[in-house]
Amino acid sequence: MIGALLFVTATVAAPPGCYPPPVAAAIAEPFSAPACNWCPGNRGVDYLVQPGTPVTALADGTVSFAGSVAGVRWVVVAHDDGLRSSYGPMAGITVARDQHVTARQILGTSQAQLHLGLRRGDDYLDPAPYLAQWIGRPRLVPTDGTPARPAPPAVLRCATGPIGR
């Protein structure tokens, strides 16, 4: 029997202290801290996604910016825990400044790449340790028409622990 590799995806609540990712995609370019405030680096993480992918808020908060910067659409959310997340470039924005948003609420749609930034004050943080990651087990499934067994449950887990560490 020939099998195919399948990853389980399901809607699962993130554990306390973890943010659900803004899109269902793997990180394509990780955070790279710049050597100075004006030096090159990646001040967040980048996802490669299909244009028009819904982008969701990491957590509850208030939209502090929703608009264009140099012709590029961005959304910034000030979260109740004191962190700010930024999302862009966006193809479309469905929220407005001063609007309260909840975790997983759609903020708009992506272009072909989505940058997620996370800041505490003026300091850029690596978002990856704050994001819940899908932990699923790969499994073989029959491709000859035989019914597959039920998949094991997928869970969301923080990479390094709760926010605030």
Output the pLDDT for position 162: 39
The CA-atom distances, in angstroms, between 91 and each of 17, 36, 95 are: 29, 30, 13
From CA 143, how far away is CA 141, in angstroms rounded? 6
Output the pLDDT for position 13: 43
CB 116 within 8 A of CB 127: yes
What residue ranges do the domains of the chain occupy?
1-18+134-165, 20-130
The alpha carbon of 55 is separated from its chain's Cα centroid by a whole number of angstroms, namely 8
Give per-10-residue mean pLDDT for the chain (165 aa). 36 56 91 91 95 96 97 96 96 98 97 96 91 63 78 56 38
From CA 45, how far away is CA 75, in angstroms rounded? 15
Output the pLDDT for position 152: 58
Q: What CATH code is assigned to 20-130?
A: 2.70.70.10
Output the pLDDT for position 138: 57
pTM > 0.85: yes or no: no
